With several copies, the nearest count.
Chain A
């Protein structure tokens, strides 16, 4: 049954539509781009978790993934390249009732934004960080990100990447994150669930989503299109919940598997709670001691 956006109102809407700035469709993402898929998962997770949309803010950096903020009908901030996390830090701390989601790319969060990533994790700030890992700086045409697999071809590694990539779940966990998961754009149901859990988790939660970039990364590496990539994930991913993050590094060219799953879900005092507690003790009976409270 085919239809345009103006479906009769008796039919349920596309569940993503209440989240979309539909007036901005079509979006700029390419055919088969995995980013849109992750947005579907995000929208469904938000629906399920019951956070009022007015209390949900989304912050992106710059990049194809960075455009997510601009398409979501939330209080949404498209900041500068790599700086979504420190912006989100100010936003969250100034207005603690907000649920703040950082949604950006591998280059943005782990390349230029690496320092903010580890420091926010260290602080265990209550942010949900969704990182779409397409193994490339896609928006600028496909340069090697810090997650680019060894031997992959990127415009700035025309003879193949020889650098060691980051194992992002491990970096996040080692820096202090309390929730760490990795899924792929093939695993839409689990991705949705992971985002849901991350949204509900207090503290720094991190969801890495491997997603196809057919135009740039897959094409340059002659890996087919979105369908082939999703099939690859279907066939080669091994779900290993609770795996030691040390062991979940991705080496697509030398290993035949990618470990995915929920790796970490621990309790640790969140930054703002710690702050409130700290000051409550110190300044008892004083004035209102806490910003935004």
Chain B
């Protein structure tokens, strides 16, 4: 779901760990994320990728996420796994 530039940012989300705090969404510098309407099992909304191609892989979302539910990394341009 991510798109290519020189580096592509890859974001990994573990929905079931998410507690819906929206911090990742708010502080992603390039607004890649948004909260989904769906609930996870605990009844929380979780983030999804709104603009995956914008992601720089800066991993700020990963550093912020209090629940270790999201993180990101940079990958040199190739096909997403």
Contact = CB atoms under 8 A, between A and B. Distances in A.
Partners in one complex: yes
Interface of A: 1-5, 7-8, 10-12, 14-17, 20, 25-27, 29-37, 39-41, 44, 185-186, 188-189, 192, 214, 225-227, 230-231
A188 B63 contact: yes
Given A1-B52, A40-B63, A188-B60, A225 B17 contact: no
Contact of B44 (A12, A31, A230): A31
A185 B66 CA distance: 10
11 contacts: A11-B12, A14-B71, A20-B68, A26-B67, A34-B66, A36-B67, A40-B62, A225-B21, A227-B22, A230-B26, A230-B27
Interface in B9-56: 10-17, 19-23, 26-27, 42, 44, 48-49, 52
Nearest to A17: B68
B20 A31 contact: yes
Q: Is the interface of A mostly helix, strand, loop or mixed?
A: loop
B33 to A, nearest CB: 12
Q: Is the interface of B mostly helix, strand, loop or mixed?
A: mixed
A29 B33 CA distance: 23
Interface residues of B, number: 35
A29 B22 contact: no
A5 B67 CA distance: 13
Contacts of A27: 67
A30 B44 CA distance: 12
B72 to A, nearest CB: 9
Contact of A16 (B2, B11, B71, B73): B71
A32 B21 contact: yes
A44 B12 CA distance: 17
A1 B49 contact: yes
A232 B11 CA distance: 26
Contacts of B12: 1-3, 7, 11, 14
